[in-house]
Chains A and B, each alone.
Chain A
Amino acid sequence: MKTMTRRELIKLFGNAAIGTGLLGASNLAFAKQSAHIVIVGGGVGGAAAAKYMRLLNSDVRITIIEPQPQYIFCPGSNEVVADFDTLETLTVDYNTLKSRYAVNVIQDYAQEIDYTGKSLILAKGDVIHYDKLIVSPGPDFKYNAVEGYSKELAEGDFPAAWHAGPQTLTLRDQIKSMPQGGTVLISSPVDPYRCPPAPYERASFIANKLKHTNPTAKILILDSKDDFIFHDVYMDFWKKEHGLGTDNARIEWVPAKNGGHVTKLDTNNRTLTTASGQTLRGDVINIIPPEMAGSFVRMNGLVKGDWAPINSKDFSSKRDKDVYVIGDSAAADPMPKTGYIASNQAKVVTKAIQAELTGKEIGTPFITNNCVAMAAEDWGMTVAETFRYAGNDRAYEESYVMSNPTENPYHRHIRAEVAKNWQRTFRKDIFS
């Protein structure tokens, strides 16, 4: 087998190939017998797996199966909801992965794993042989957790807007055109779900906008939980900026213990019913449904309950050692479901695969989640989480440090800048 160094590879494909769309280049460049790493899903987990696999190994063939021609990052999409950024900023395509990292991208849906034949069947009928399969399709939503809600309604007048895209824009436009003094209802789901602080960041951003455009409007967060990350920071912000605790509060949070859990949507009357039997009318209704592993993961027998059990050492599935599950679909508690985590799980998997391909011991994994959230453009908060390996059949051990409310505006401001900086660098780390 001819081995190419990374430098040779970049010399061959890097500069010359930019913009020429070198789809299929990998088939020409790599010996037929080199291992084929197939990745289901071209989001943060899948794209990071492709790129970091290539950085480790110039020989393997890498193929991503992804139905969409572009990817829209979720981090930053609350900014779009509140209309101070655009989806354009968050949108990337696969050209750099193709040209710089010689990754083959097939635009199709992955359907079925043939575990014995080690192949993947695609919706259009193609059958792709894999040596290693990395599965990272993101989560699916349990729309029926709220009676009367559905995928169709989410795509119509009642956006969930929990995958950045058209629903993000619908929600933005509904908030813009809401009548003066109107009400926004946000239903926040049970754990675990993608990006734990995001419902509260979203509510804050919307409140900041309404303060100027629609000052008598109200936001009600109806929660299926009694607590959430950065709870004290958000409470402090809502008190200081939006009158929380007064008669004129612009924003209110109803925890599950006070009947916040939403059970039913009535589209005709635009109302939500809560567990305590209260019926509330919303001019804008944003239901964030609870989540489960993506349908590909569930259909292929990779789940136990809602999520896919994995071996902690390398994120290989408990079902099959050559199939890995990363990102939101993996049962990786206590890791939160964040893009940051998905990308670092991808790095663990690719290092494990590289060790196996080169006959080495798989190293001890290590994962961090140094995440950020904002309440306003100058009001940021951070959490630094570390996950240490504690055995293949055990959960990782977590330690964390997270922001508390602070009276020091410099700290809030710099954390907001850290958040913005992180978004830019993160997008670039995964896709360029």
Chain B
Amino acid sequence: MKKRLLMSVGLACLLNTSVSYAITGGTTAEENAKLRGEYPMPSGEMLGDNCSACHGTKGAEFNEAMPPLAGMKKENFIKLMKAYRENEFPSIVMHDVAWVFSDEEIEAMADFFSAQKPEEWTQADWNASIKENRQ
């Protein structure tokens, strides 16, 4: 446990945005929280549909290096996203993505993704079918 803790501290330093690893800008965490309070929360679908370019439509891309989100257990999604947000779990991109979300937004996305079928989005070899159609 102690070793794991040390490792996570080490990784947090390595990945920490304050050690010239990344450039941050725009609204701060406080300003983000203030904006969130001014308008109704975006729906889980509104938030979750932003993930599709990397994780597939409705999170249902099972053939790529990015993990699928469709059908993910709600509690696992929440735990992981919060860990990314706090930079407690090593990541290359996900801390940069996750730091803006509130607990409620993470929960809404968890509901959205856990309700999706854990099946590859439609056909596996979509590119081949397009080539076939072209001929």
Known contacts A19-B132, A348-B46; is-contact A421 B66 (Cβ 8 Å)? yes
Q: How large is the interface on B (under 10, 10 to 19, 20 to 34, 35 or more residues)?
A: 35 or more
B42 close to chain A: CB less than 8 A: yes
Q: Report the separation of the CA atoms of residues A363 and B40 in the bound assembly, to the nearest whole angstrom.
A: 8
A432 near B121 (CB under 8 angstroms)?
yes
- Chain A: residues with Cβ within 8 Å of the partner, total of 59
B-side contacts of A368, CB under 8 Å: 50, 97
A-side contacts of B39, CB under 8 Å: 364, 389
B23 near A401 (CB under 8 angstroms)?
yes
A-side contacts of B58, CB under 8 Å: 55
Quick one: which of A374-432 are within 8 Å of B by CB? Answer: 382, 384-386, 388-390, 397-404, 406, 408, 411, 414-415, 417-418, 421-422, 424-426, 428-429, 431-432
Smallest CB separation, B67 vs chain A (Å): 11
**A-B residue pair count with CB separations less than 8 angstroms:** 161
Residue of B nearest to A339 (CB): B53
Known contacts A401-B99, A417-B65; is-contact A429 B56 (Cβ 8 Å)? yes
Known contacts A363-B40, A363-B43, A425-B53; is-contact A401 B27 (Cβ 8 Å)? no
Known contacts A344-B50, A388-B36, A429-B52; is-contact A399 B22 (Cβ 8 Å)? no
Q: Report the separation of the CA atoms of residues A55 and B116 in the bound assembly, to the nearest whole angstrom.
A: 13
A93 close to chain B: CB less than 8 A: yes
Known contacts A100-B122, A399-B27, A401-B24; is-contact A424 B133 (Cβ 8 Å)? no
A347 close to chain B: CB less than 8 A: yes
B92 near A418 (CB under 8 angstroms)?
yes
A18 close to chain B: CB less than 8 A: yes
B53 near A422 (CB under 8 angstroms)?
yes
Q: Report the separation of the CA atoms of residues A426 and B83 in the bound assembly, to the nearest whole angstrom.
A: 26
B50 near A95 (CB under 8 angstroms)?
no
Q: Report the separation of the CA atoms of residues A258 and B121 in the bound assembly, to the nearest whole angstrom.
A: 50
Smallest CB separation, A404 vs chain B (Å): 5
Q: Report the separation of the CA atoms of residues A382 and B95 in the bound assembly, to the nearest whole angstrom.
A: 12
B-side contacts of A366, CB under 8 Å: 42, 46-47, 50
A-side contacts of B92, CB under 8 Å: 382, 411, 414-415, 418
A351 close to chain B: CB less than 8 A: yes
Quick one: which of B107-133 are within 8 Å of A by CB? Answer: 121-123, 126, 129-133
A367: which of B36, B50, B132 is its contact (CB, 8 Å)? B50
A425 near B56 (CB under 8 angstroms)?
yes
Mask: chain A, 87-117; 1 = CB below 8 Å from B; 0 = not = 0100111011000100000000000000000
B-side contacts of A91, CB under 8 Å: 130
Smallest CB separation, A424 vs chain B (Å): 7
Smallest CB separation, B30 vs chain A (Å): 11
B96 near A382 (CB under 8 angstroms)?
yes
B-side contacts of A399, CB under 8 Å: 24-28, 31-32, 100
A386 near B42 (CB under 8 angstroms)?
no
Q: Report the separation of the CA atoms of residues A232 and B21 in the bound assembly, to the nearest whole angstrom.
A: 12
A-side contacts of B96, CB under 8 Å: 370, 382, 384, 401-402
Residue of A nearest to B43 (CB): A363
Complex A-B: 16 CB contacts under 8 Å: A18-B129, A334-B26, A343-B53, A351-B46, A363-B46, A370-B53, A384-B93, A386-B32, A388-B36, A397-B27, A397-B31, A399-B24, A399-B28, A401-B99, A428-B126, A429-B57
